[in-house]
Chain A
């Protein structure tokens, strides 16, 4: 991982009242986004997410408080110069229909009067980064591209002058769910390379959990309801509003966030065809947790469970004795998928296998339950007990 190229963005008591409206759209918002992290602003429609975001590049001027980027007040620069240093991606993408993909990508470098060959090199590099072959796409017009391709060009355009900060307003909102998932993954991979400070607006709590290093949940009137890591918000919602907003299935959402690699593994009792039954019985007796042995093939791939019943008597075990159907999970599987696989089998254990299908350990349903009860790290960097009341709310 590269050093963060992003800069800290800080809201300090920021308020926005639109003319002719008594109630503020954003009310005394204070939060700090560390350099190189994605902060997702999430909340129901009309809660002030877009307003909060647009105050950062001064498309909307705050009526109170101040915003700093890298410690510098955003009012210290002319608005257009500030905007050229901040990437901007919107739901409707807003590519310029009369410019080619290359020209669209080069918009900010051109405003900054970069030399032509530098701009050209950067444009090709960016199209490459977002997965569009420059030779194929550079000279096309936006109306010749699919929605997903256009959205990628939108991201490339926002990254063109290598801004430390990016603002993204529902960037994947107009893409169908299947493609959205792909674009999200792609964007997270890209972010792990470029490490921008990103303010990402969505109304979708699942997208917030997936994309955010931290999440700011806003409620109507632009009030910050909770600001924490996704794990901490799911484990300890700060208020009834947050609890309702994240959904009754927040336990399942926590399962979707956890990975099998985070669980404590149990050492299996490994058995190969032809081993002596009495010997296996002895090894099983020595294990506190297991009443089953795992039969594997010559390559260490699981074949099935051997239980006490199969081990009666003496002599070598034969492969036909195993009960097939040991559920296998991978270290990268979500706890949700793992649990689902384990609940579907008679033995509530999952066999963790590596990328070649070889046994790496066992995980139990109990371990998943323990994981959900384990303390969670919050934005303050501290571990918090699950269910612990949030002092800040």
Chain B
């Protein structure tokens, strides 16, 4: 196939493998950063909710509101404060992970069988030992389920940060695609960006699933 045929120009892609690699790397970094920070904040908030359950309503309310704000609107709100920077991008990306992560962590911890907690107390676990050795391991499947949704969502959202010049694979879609609609390579750039973003999302999802399976062998084996 030559550059002259069809909407997809393979030659254009092959010429830009280095760029694609860089964009993919940036995309992964933006995603991982957002999910990790989101996870840490969500853990803190989930533990606070466990300490005083009255906080559940307000915290879920706020993170739900954040989740509902359109991403472009959130950027425009943040730019006057944090400028066109990675901080702006991450604040937006992190806030979209909170609702799902907090909900799943709380739900996961609530789902720990009460008799396991009762037994842990009776055996002489301290509160921290109980959390780390009993509650978190047992909540893991539900937490990882939330993590998978948050990660896939974030991979999609990172493309939008191209609007403030930080798009990862979004650069292909926005800057080389939509904004250069007249270019003969615009379609190729868009398709390439979308395909890589989707592949990344699927890969991340499966990787997390594999991780969860490896960490929770007990959840799979059933009695004969």
Confirm or deny: B53 has a beta carbon within 8 angstroms of a beta carbon on chain A: no
| Contact assessment for B118 and A90 in the assembled complex, using a CB-CB cutoff below 8 Å | yes
Quote the shortest CB–CB distance from A85 to chain B (angstroms).
Answer: 8
Confirm or deny: A389 has a beta carbon within 8 angstroms of a beta carbon on chain B: no
A278 vs B134: C-alpha distance when bound (angstroms)? 83
| Contact assessment for B119 and A88 in the assembled complex, using a CB-CB cutoff below 8 Å | yes
| Contact assessment for A90 and B122 in the assembled complex, using a CB-CB cutoff below 8 Å | yes
Confirm or deny: B115 has a beta carbon within 8 angstroms of a beta carbon on chain A: yes
Q: Which of B119, B129, B137 contacts A95 (CB 8 A)?
A: B119
| Contact assessment for B123 and A107 in the assembled complex, using a CB-CB cutoff below 8 Å | yes
Interface string of A39-60 (1 = CB under 8 A from B): 0000000000000000001010
Determine the chain B residues whose CB is within 8 A of the CB of A93 once the complex forms. 115, 119
Determine the chain B residues whose CB is within 8 A of the CB of A332 once the complex forms. none
Confirm or deny: B125 has a beta carbon within 8 angstroms of a beta carbon on chain A: yes
Interface residues of A in 74-97 (CB under 8 A from B): 79-84, 88, 90, 92-97
A79 vs B124: C-alpha distance when bound (angstroms)? 8
Interface string of A137-149 (1 = CB under 8 A from B): 0001111111000
Determine the chain B residues whose CB is within 8 A of the CB of A146 once the complex forms. 223
A-B CB pair tally, cutoff 8 Å: 78
Quote the shortest CB–CB distance from A310 to chain B (angstroms).
Answer: 62
A76 vs B126: C-alpha distance when bound (angstroms)? 17
Q: Which of A59, A140, A143 contacts B122 (CB 8 A)?
A: A59
Quote the shortest CB–CB distance from A322 to chain B (angstroms).
Answer: 55
| Contact assessment for B124 and A94 in the assembled complex, using a CB-CB cutoff below 8 Å | no
Determine the chain A residues whose CB is within 8 A of the CB of B223 once the complex forms. 143-146
Main secondary structure of the interface of B (DSSP, over half): helix
| Contact assessment for B224 and A83 in the assembled complex, using a CB-CB cutoff below 8 Å | no
Quote the shortest CB–CB distance from A149 to chain B (angstroms).
Answer: 10
A265 vs B134: C-alpha distance when bound (angstroms)? 59
| Contact assessment for A90 and B138 in the assembled complex, using a CB-CB cutoff below 8 Å | no
Determine the chain B residues whose CB is within 8 A of the CB of A135 once the complex forms. none
- Known contacts A97-B116, A144-B224; A84 and B218 CB within 8 A of each other: no
Determine the chain B residues whose CB is within 8 A of the CB of A95 once the complex forms. 116, 119
| Contact assessment for A88 and B122 in the assembled complex, using a CB-CB cutoff below 8 Å | yes
Confirm or deny: A108 has a beta carbon within 8 angstroms of a beta carbon on chain B: yes
Interface residues of A in 317-341 (CB under 8 A from B): none
Nearest B-chain residue to A154, judged by Cβ: B119
Determine the chain B residues whose CB is within 8 A of the CB of A83 once the complex forms. 121-124
- Known contacts A93-B115, A95-B119; A108 and B124 CB within 8 A of each other: yes
Determine the chain A residues whose CB is within 8 A of the CB of B115 once the complex forms. 90, 92-94
Interface string of B180-224 (1 = CB under 8 A from A): 000000000000000000000000000000000000111101111
Confirm or deny: B113 has a beta carbon within 8 angstroms of a beta carbon on chain A: yes
Nearest A-chain residue to B224, judged by Cβ: A144
Q: Which of B119, B216, B222, B224 contacts A94 (CB 8 A)?
A: B119
Scoring A80, A145, A167 by chain B CB atoms within 10 A of each residue's CB, the highest score goes to A80
Interface string of A86-119 (1 = CB under 8 A from B): 0010101111111110000001100100000000
Q: Which of B124, B129, B218 contacts A98 (CB 8 A)?
A: B218
22 A-B pairs in the complex with CB atoms less than 8 angstroms apart: A57-B122, A80-B126, A84-B124, A88-B122, A90-B119, A90-B122, A92-B118, A93-B115, A94-B113, A94-B115, A94-B116, A95-B116, A97-B219, A98-B138, A100-B218, A111-B124, A111-B125, A140-B221, A142-B218, A144-B221, A146-B223, A157-B123
Known: A111-B129, A141-B218. 19 other contacts (CB 8 A): A57-B122, A79-B124, A80-B126, A83-B121, A84-B123, A84-B124, A92-B113, A92-B118, A94-B113, A96-B116, A97-B116, A97-B138, A97-B218, A100-B218, A108-B123, A111-B123, A141-B221, A144-B222, A144-B223
